[in-house]
A and B are shown apart, each in its own frame.
Chain A
Amino acid sequence: MSPEYAFLTIFLPLIASVLSLFLPGEKAKAWLVVLGSLLSAVFSVLTYSPPVSGIYTETYSVPWIPQLGIYISLHLDQFSGVMGMLVAWLVFFIVLYSVKYMEGDYRPGWYWFFMGFFATSMLIITYADNLWFLLVGWEGVGLASWALIGHWYKDDEPDVKWVGHPGDRVALVDYSWPPSKAGLRAILTIRIGDSAFLVSLAYIFVALGTVQLSGLFRLGSAASALGLLPLFLFLMGPLTKSAQFPFTEWLLTAMTGPTSVSALIHAATMVNAGVYLLIVTAPIFASVQGAQTYFLAVLIFGALTAILSSIIALTVDEFKLVLAGSTAANLGIIAAATGGAGLLGLSGGGAALIALLWIAFMQIVGHAISKAPLFMGYGAVIHESGTKYLGAVGRLGRYMRATSLALWLAMLSLIGTPPFAGFFTKEMAVENISAGFDAVGLSGVLVAGLIAFLAPLYGLRLLGLSLVHGPEPKEHIHEAHPIMWVPYTVLAFAALGVGGYLAYLYADELARLVASPGFLAFLVGFAAALALYVLRPGVRSRALTPLWRIGYRRFYLPWLYDGVLAWVYHNLAHLIYWAVDRGVIDNLYHAALPWAFSKISAAFRRLQTGSLSWYLLYAIAGSLVLILLVLL
């Protein structure tokens, strides 16, 4: 590994974004960050040249605060090498798209700074070998996420920039989220996980004496005594960061951010940080006693998220919300595939585990290159049509042909249609999930089938009702600017290209994948979706309406979080304020102690009579007492 290249990959976006603060014009800021991102992307390729295989293959380390185990250290292997290139190139494409998408925005300095800041933070997570150093990036992406979700802090244009229908309420709880509130929701949820994550890092450092990932990996069975507690505390970080159930909500309302932000942070990169960390730490945690329980939990959380989020994606009526639901679903698939890999790898040995984890990792790649163009494309749709609601505008395929083509290609890849990249990555990931459930005696086929069946339903529903059918646009709609459509079209074709490469790579597996139960479930779902949303749209079922409502209301989790939990927290805070802050702290520090000191002080000052005779008397008496004290 050339550490210089790796550091350039990591820090060039940040350097560009910091410099952009000092440039006067919006364009200058934008193009400087684009340049920084392009260079970072080029260096990401050089960093991984020549490619290396395995995990924690090469490491580089310089001490920062060695007493606390803090090193600035990097690791290069097949996971970080590919992830680094994926992140850096996606950043480049999306910031390029942003040049036009964010043109005329009222906060360019904020946007461009945090985009570069985010890129560097994400690349730190990707390459970091030291968990404390990784934590820097981990918190950095959280901060950038908050800053960019709430980018439109004025909370204006609710029909475009909010999530939900303004004014919509469920049992006294608002069901619409302005950017400022969504940013807060995101950071609060992530901080809950980060708190536990931080404790787990400290625990690991104290218990094992190192937080170097490569060092922990080399410990092997010596790490077995770590126990399950730190593993589950650790798990809280990825669960919240990757929006796993029941922490999915923040990701859905994060769609208040600019679409470029949704594409980069809340689809292709940051949300993947959690599952990426699950993957690269799996070989370490596999050595810990009780790891089976940990991997089973990961499998169950992932599968649950995949199914429930797919249902949300199938029922909601906003372009970006459908995509956000599908992001959560795919993150669930990746997490579940990691859990499955862990369960299977425990019995199969180290090499088998790495191979299975690689399958889970490939789904990150497949999902990212499919989802990023979808977000960018629908960003262009919202930009042109002026609405975010699915059903408010339709037949866009006629007006935005390049965008429509890119969206079709990307969506077919996302839902797992052969020969796109998504087909290979998703099918193999679903196999991991199925085999994982089978390994613990549960019906894997049922879970995997349901996941594979739901994906085409929400995917084709979105395309059918926006590109093919739906109401004619009221105003003339034209194709997006080339600076916008070129990046997502290139990425959509990349999904096809990568699919071709994977077909070549996994030619032997092709027959098995096509005959798998997961693919059969996909075909059933695809046929149903084609009929319901593309060929004969408009079929409605009264019987399914209550079920649809549950999905549409996102399993009432917003009502629980924004209503019940907020009420409980608010009242608990009041209780603590009255009982502890006012009752104890105020009374003790602001009433009792000052009263006591004022009495003592006044008593001392009463000696100050002004009479010289008394003063001398006090001095002599005091001296005598002192002499007695000395003599005794």
Chain B
Amino acid sequence: MIDPFFLVVLAFAALTPLALKVDGRYLAAAMGVAIFAMAFFVPEAAFFFTLLGVLAIALALDWPYGGLGLALGLSAASTALAAYAYYRAVAAPQYALNYAFAGLAALAVSTASVYGLLASGRERENLEGALKYLIFSAVGKTLMVLGFAIALYIAPTLGWVLLAFGFVFELGLVPAHLWMVDAFALSTPKGVAALTIFGELTPLLVLLTLLNVVPMAKAAAFALLVVALTSMTFANAAGLTARTFGRILAYSSIAHMSYAVAAAALVFYFGNKPVSLPLVGTMSAFSVASLVIVLEGLTSGLGKAGIFGALTVRHADTVPERRVLSNTLNVLSLLGVPPLLGFWPKLLLILLSLALGQVGVAVLVILNSALATPYYLRVFRQVVEPAGPSADNATSVLTSTLAVILGVAAPLLLVALIP
């Protein structure tokens, strides 16, 4: 039996010809409404459906995408599909494999859509940034599909090593991180907004789905842990001397993805066991890691979508021309200031490290948070200092509001967020 949600995604794809006739923003908004509406039918993923639906609507309201509005809608739908696949894989383990492949398919749709959005500007640089994303993402997905098949049917360790490298390419971790800086700095800022929320959240959700199907091998966990710890330190150090919006936030993104991956790697390298933490009580270490991954993806995605979504320049290798005060909250959330959303995944990662007896990892995460402060404060200044009037738009206001609401409500949401 075909899952009804797949039919919805197929229906969306079938709408493609409409893009020739209807302004893309209406298509994207309509798809956002449809995703939002799905929340009523899929209660387990209602949180994501609501969030992604309203985000798609906000992004659509803020930008005349032309024909690429469909790409925006599809990228949101693909992330919703990835979220759906993840929740269904947990809820119905007997079909987990099907949902894992659905997740990989969602990733492919997401990449294609985001590529289009990144390249949507008229500048040569926009295309260059988009192409670098496409190439590295393609390599990553190839490794993922190959690795997943090998992990399932041939050799789990080899398979997971390939999968790990796939995610390194896909998420832009060291040593495959260089594309990300160029993609953020050179691509169309509205496309970067879509990349940060849909293009990064989708692979993280796929990672969680795959982990539910085949547990990560220890060797791969070790490799990912080394990569994650190196990446966060590398990115935060490199970000210190970056000056333009695009480059600083690219390093920030690498760091956030590193925190997320580090949580998963920690659990699979040091062993999944019940841990007792403040706020969440006693739960398995993997559940805590899943929380870190989801919250880190949301933090990075929401914060940067707000910041890039409000840019009016052709590419982000520059400082902004207009003041966007709502983005101050987004920057503070990215920095991890309590009680904003960004505070919680860092806190949980530190607590998880301590619960697993890894004081060194906890200390490194804390040092990295401190190291990142100067460049976030630089972004803060860049957001505030340009001349007024303030150019806040639907996306920046929505994301900053979410950073506050989700941050304040986090203690209530935490347990409910993970299946």
Q: Report which A residues bind B (CB closer than 8 A).
A: 597-598, 600-602, 604-605, 607-608, 610, 612, 614-616, 618-619, 621-623, 625-627, 629-630
Contacts and interface: CB of A to CB of B under 8 A. Distances in A.
Given A605-B242, A626-B226, A630-B219, A610 B182 contact: yes
B240 interface: yes
A598 B219 CA distance: 34
B241 A619 contact: no
A10 to B, nearest CB: 36
A59 B10 CA distance: 78
Nearest to B174: A622
Contacts of B139: 619
A437 to B, nearest CB: 61
A627 B161 contact: yes
Give me the 7 closest cross-chain CB pairs, A-B, nearest first: A622-B175, A619-B176, A604-B238, A601-B241, A615-B178, A601-B240, A630-B219
A597 B237 contact: yes
Given A612-B135, A615-B136, A626-B227, 7 more contacts: A598-B241, A602-B241, A605-B241, A619-B176, A623-B165, A626-B223, A630-B219
Contacts of B223: 626-627, 629-630
Contacts of B168: 623
Contacts of B234: 604
A589 B24 CA distance: 52
Contact of B226 (A612, A614, A629): A629
A608 B176 CA distance: 12
B275 to A, nearest CB: 25
B219 A608 contact: no
B118 to A, nearest CB: 15
Interface string B171-213: 0001110110110000000000000000000000000000000
Contact of B182 (A600, A601, A608): A608
Contacts, number: 69
Contact of A601 (B131, B174, B239): B239
A605 B244 CA distance: 13
B241 A623 contact: no
Given A626-B223, A629-B226, A608 B239 contact: no
A630 B135 CA distance: 26
Majority DSSP secondary structure for residues of B touching A: helix
B378 interface: no
Interface of B: 131-132, 135-136, 139, 161, 165, 168-169, 174-176, 178-179, 181-182, 219-220, 222-223, 226-227, 234, 237-242, 247, 371
Contacts of B226: 626, 629
B176 A622 contact: yes
Contact of B237 (A600, A608, A610, A626): A600
A612 B180 CA distance: 11
Contact of B175 (A600, A602, A618, A629): A618
Contacts of B174: 622
A313 B219 CA distance: 85
A623 B230 CA distance: 13
A619 B135 contact: no
B175 A601 contact: no
25 contacts: A597-B237, A598-B240, A601-B238, A601-B241, A602-B241, A604-B237, A605-B238, A610-B182, A612-B132, A612-B135, A615-B132, A615-B136, A615-B178, A616-B135, A618-B175, A618-B176, A619-B136, A619-B175, A622-B175, A622-B176, A626-B165, A626-B227, A627-B223, A629-B222, A630-B222
A551 B383 CA distance: 66
A606 B178 CA distance: 11
Contacts of B242: 601, 605
Nearest to A621: B175
Contact of B178 (A598, A602, A618, A627): A618
Contacts of B219: 630
A622 B175 CA distance: 5
B178 A608 contact: yes
Contacts of A608: 178, 181-182, 247
Nearest to B240: A601
A611 to B, nearest CB: 9
A601 B174 CA distance: 14
A610 B176 CA distance: 13
Nearest to A609: B178
B161 A630 contact: yes
B249 to A, nearest CB: 14
Contacts of B237: 597, 600-601, 604
Nearest to A607: B178
A462 B119 CA distance: 94
A630 B179 CA distance: 25
A619 B169 CA distance: 8
Contacts of A612: 131-132, 135, 179
Nearest to A614: B178
A443 to B, nearest CB: 66
Nearest to B168: A623
Nearest to A605: B238
A489 to B, nearest CB: 60
B315 to A, nearest CB: 13
A598 B243 CA distance: 12
A621 B174 CA distance: 11
B36 to A, nearest CB: 38
A630 B371 CA distance: 28
A246 to B, nearest CB: 46
